[in-house]
Amino acid sequence: MPITKAFTTEIDYVSILDEHGNFDAQLGSDLISNDELVQLYEQMLTSRRFDEVAFKLQRSGRMGTYPQNMGQEATSLGAAFALEPHDWLVPCYRENTGLFHRGLPMEYILLHWMGDERGNQIPRELFMTPLAIPIGTQMLHATGLAWASKYRGESNIACTFFGDGATSEGDFHEAMNFAANLDIPVIFFCQNNHWAISVPGHIQCSAPTVAQRGVAYGMDCVQCDGNDIFAVTKVVKDAAQRARDNNRPTFIEAVTYRLGDHTTADDARRYRDEEEVEMWKTRDPMIRMRDHLKSLNLWNDSKEAAATEKAETLVAEAVKRAEEIAEQPVSEIFDSMYNTIDDPEMIRQRQTMRTSSIGQDPTQVESTEQVN
C-alpha cells in the first residue's frame, strides 16, 4: 500500500499595520474607529507611564519586585478591546494595559506588588481574575471559568494570557486538552516575547511556531503580529466568535517582545544582545500606533504633550491612593480567610496573635494563659 498523508495543516500569520506603516485597509476595515484608536493609544501611553513610575517605586524601596509591560501593550489591550465586558480576562502579570481598559483601577496593580492582598480583591463586575505569578496555572482557571459558563448556559467566554515559556508547563497541556475535548469556549492567548526569563524562544520551542502546539489538541490556531493592535483585535474577535457559536477553543500566538528586564530582579543585559533589543524598539507598538494616527491627521505633538500630562496625573493619583490606603489590623488575616469563626481555639488565636498548641511552642502556653 502507498504511504498517504495522515494529516496536514497550515497556520495563518495576521498582520494589518506593520512596523513600516503599511496598513491593509481591507483587513483593517471597521475593526477600530478613529475615535477608538485615539483612546486606545492614550491608554497605551498611560500604561507606559505607569511602568516607568512602578519601576521607580521599586528602586526607591516603596514597592516589591515588578515586571514591566513595555513593548507588549498591544496584546492585552487589543484582546480586551475585542472582547465583551462580561468575558473573563485571566491574566498572568504583563497585561496591565488590557486590565486598565476593562476598568481595573491602577492602584490594584500597585497594591499587588506592594504585598497588599487588597490588590487581589478584584471587583466581581470586572470579570477578571487576580494576577497569576506561578507559570501556567491561570490557564486551568480560565478553562474552568469558561466550562462553568457553558454549563450554566451563559454567554461568557474566557481569554487567558501567558508567555511562550508557559507552553512548556504541564498545566498548559492539561488545560488545552480539557478545552478541546470538552468543547469549552476559551481563548489561549500566548504572548511570545521571545524570552522565558533568560531562556530564548528557540530553546523553548523547536517548532517554527508556538501556535502549532495547539494543533495537537485539534483546536484552531493562528499567529499574529502582537505589536499590531489591529491584528490582535481581528484574531481575538474571530476566536471569540468561534467560542460563542461553536464552544470551540482557539490558540493565538501573538509575536511581540519584552523591551525591559523580566522583572526588576533581573538584568537582561546578561543574556540578550543589545542589537536585538534595539531592533525590536523600532517595532514598538506605541511608535507604530502613534505614526499611524499622525498619518490619519488624528495626532500631533500638542496632543501628545497633553496626553502625556494627563497620564502623569492619573498615575500620580493612583500611587497616592495606593500609598495612603489605611493599614489593616493583623487580625484581618482571619476575617479574610474564614467566613465565620466559631472554634474557640481560632478565636483565641485571633485575639492573642499566638497559637496555644504545645506542639508548636510550649513557651506560648504561659503567654496564652496570661491573656485568658
**Residue 18: exposure state from Cβ atoms within 10 A (0-12, 13-18, ≥19):** middle
Residue 13 annotated among the catalytic residues of the structure? no
Catalytic residue, chosen from 112, 248, 258, 292, is: 258
Q: Which amino acid is at 275?
A: E
- DSSP of 125-178: GG-BPPP--STTHHHHHHHHHHHHHHHHT----EEEEEEGGGGGSHHHHHHHHH
Which H or E element spans position 14? strand 12-14
Residue 257 annotated among the catalytic residues of the structure? no
* Cβ neighbours for 349, distance < 8 A, ≥ 6 positions apart: 334, 355, 356
Catalytic residue, chosen from 13, 59, 269, 271, is: 271
- The total of other beta-carbon atoms located within 10 Å of residue 277's CB is 16
The DSSP 8-state label assigned to residue 359 in this structure reads T
Integer-rounded Cα Rg, in Å, for the chain is 23
Catalytic residue, chosen from 262, 283, 288, 292, is: 262
Cβ atoms of 259 and 284 closer than 8 Å: yes
Cβ atoms of 163 and 138 closer than 8 Å: no
Residue 258 annotated among the catalytic residues of the structure? yes
Place of cell 471569540: 240
End-to-end CA distance of the chain: 87
Which H or E element spans position 89? strand 88-90
Please give the positions annotated as active site: 258, 262, 271
